[in-house]
Structure 1
Amino acid sequence: MDVVSDAISAVRIGQPSSNRVQADGSWCVRLAPYDGAGFHVVLEGSCWLLPDGGAPLVLGPGDAVLLPHGAGHVIADSPAGPAAVARAVSFEGWADGKLAGRPPAGSGGVRMLCGKYRLDRSRVHPLMLELPQVVHLPNRVGSHPELRSAIELLGRELDARGPGSCIAVPSLLDLLLVYMIRAWMTEGSAGVWPAALGDPVTATALRALHTDPAAPWTNDLLAAEAGVSRPTLARRFGSLVGRSPMAYLTWWRLTYAATLLRDTPDSLATIARRVGYGTPYALSHAFSREFGTTPGRYRAGRR
């Protein structure tokens, strides 16, 4: 596994959902804050996104927007939209279909893909926390071709609803999330985690810890894996990640254990082996200290 994959897997739960929305004329809708991450992709036409507490954005054909922290926002035909909003709706309440309005002469309307990812925010990787309230990915010629391909495939699948669509659509939505986060990381972001994963020493160390968290890592072994001295690893890793390699490893082992408790029926002994603890008791003690609850109670609360 790599850091981005693990960061997404640790927080994502259930199946994502999506709607195909067409709006014509004078229209707007407020989407209430929600416990998840949402996205909008404009297929045809244009519209405005007005996030709560943020600057308005005009969206054109091919533009994608990710709202990773579930911020409430308005989607409208004009920046004056909020004044006309009577009430908020949920993502689930924004049904696939057409938003009624009073179409002025010559109005072209807009067609969009809109969706939501369910997230477990009890244990979020700092990479996900660092994402801004709104990730705007404008459609530029030649930029992020894999993202554009995923958008095109998803649009076709939602239009056709052919055999196997119930498997294809959630898989494409998961792919879309990965590509949107990857695009954010390559858009020249000045964030901590794009810098950490762009540094060859820190990235190599992180990859090793995520690939085999159960290995008996030490600072010396990790430095050798990264091809640098122990002081060099400690300096570069600590300055970019914000904690020492061994502190990060402990945190990730317990976060990974929480994910396994939530998503698998594995016994505590099996999970302890997978995350690098010698006994279930050792894992339970560390888990309780970190989470403030026992593994059993944590699992029961996530089912």
Structure 2
Amino acid sequence: MDALAALLEGPRARGAFVLRSMLRPPWSLRIRDESPLTLVAVVRGWAWVLTADGEPRRIASGDVAVLRGPRPYTVADDPATEPQILINPGQVTTTLDGEVLCETMSLGVRQWGNDPDGETVLVTGSYEYVGAVSRRLLRALPPMLVLPRGRSDDRLLDLLTDETIKDLPAQGVVLDRLLDLLLISTLRTWFSGAEAPPWYHAYGDPLVGKALRLLQHNPAHPWTVAALAQEAGASRAALARRFTELVGEPPMAFLTEWRLDLAADLLQGTEDTVEAIARRVGYGSAFALSTAFKRHFGVSPREHRTGGAPAVSSAS
């Protein structure tokens, strides 16, 4: 399995929130639903997206934006428009004073907004809980990425847009799969560009690419820098220097994060014991994994598995 496939096999929407919004200016939505990952596609018109991590970004017809949660952000007709509506956890929509608007602004099956003929039409798909998305994928993404018109797959966007307002048997399953496909298509294109994380482009380097594959395909192996260098066909110093230069961190630091991200996914995606998962990702015991997991994420494997607290790296 290649590096991108290992990341993109994670998204599995199950009962995802999918909605078509029709909006007439002025409008501004403050999104604080805490969804781990949201896709926003502009079907008609335009929108501005404002996050805490960067300048406002304008997205127009045909553009697809992917936003990594759980931090709040704003989608509006103009950066200067003050938020009028809050999107809260569970996709509960309210005014700033707390008045519930879910029914008031309903325009039909999975349709919502302030004007059915509004200048802007958005299709939004939100993954409602972090277990539906690979934690490794979330760590690889910026707070927001935008794929402009012409680079996104219009066929998938058209299908999702058309299916959003249907009310047929198994419609939720259809929407889940279409959302997955559009997300995967969007991210596959984005990863091929210059903004992808350094380690992804490092796969093209003969030395570092081989080392990365060895680490990712065999996380349970008792790797050392010396052993990795021997397998990759380089000196220890040369591998350590080149790896750090291209990936942005030393080989063993990369391996530690990879092992813990794998463990986080396995804890929520399987029923394996913590002991079995520990050995599968390269830790000698459940205690060793639990110690490293809590130090890295701030919660224990058990808390992460039961959903009592999210596992978020201090480096995220």
How high is the TM-score relative to the length of structure 2? 0.73
- The RMSD of aligned alpha carbons is 3.7
What is the one-letter code of the residue matched to 1:67?
Answer: L
Q: How many residues align?
A: 288
- CA distances 1:192-214 after superposition (whole Å, capped 9, x unpaired): 34543443433332233222312
Structure 2 residue aligned with 1:89? 87
Q: Which residue of 1 aligns with 2:248?
A: 242
Indicate the residue corresponding to 2:305 in structure 1. Answer: 299
Give the equivalent residue in structure 1 for 2:41: 41
Aligned counterpart, 1:99? 113
Amino acid at match of 1:134: M
Deviation track 1:267-302 (CA, whole Å, cap 9, x = no partner) reads 123212311234334434444554555433443454
Alignment partner of 1:68 is 2:68: yes
Alignment partner, residue 260 of structure 2: 254
Q: Which amino acid aligns with 2:66?
A: L
Map of 2:188 onto structure 1: 182
Gaps of 5+ in 2: 94-105, 310-316
Query: 2: CA distance between counterparts of 1:169 and 1:243?
Result: 39
What is aligned with 2:281? 275
Q: Equivalent pairs: percent with the same residue?
A: 33
Q: Which runs of 5+ in 1 are unaligned?
A: none
Could you tell me whether the CA contact under 8 Å between 2:20 and 2:124 is conserved in 1?
Answer: yes
Residue of structure 2 equivalent to 1:110: 120
Where in structure 2 are the equivalents of 1:132-151 lying within 5 Å?
Answer: 132-140=142-150, 143-144=151-152, 147-151=153-157
> Whole-Å Cα distance in 2 between the matches of residues 129 and 295 of structure 1?
18
Deviation of residue 115 (structure 1)? 1.8
Structure 2 letter corresponding to 1:230: R
Residues 135, 208 of structure 1: alpha-carbon distance in 2 compared, 3 angstrom cutoff: same
1:265 matches 2:271: yes
CA deviation vs aligned residue, 1:49-77 (integer Å, no higher than 9, x gap):
1414554444332111122244411232x
Give the TM-score normalised by structure 1: 0.75
Structure 1 stretch 287-296 or stretch 268-277: which is displaced more? 287-296
Question: Which residue matches 1:232?
Answer: 238
Distance 2:11 2:181 in 1: 15
Query: Greater helix percent: which structure?
Result: 1
Would you say the 8 A contact 1:65–1:137 is kept in 2?
yes
- Identify which of 225, 232, 256 aligns with 1:219: 225
CA contact (8 A) 1:273 1:279 kept: yes
Q: How far did residue 19 of structure 1 move?
A: 0.8
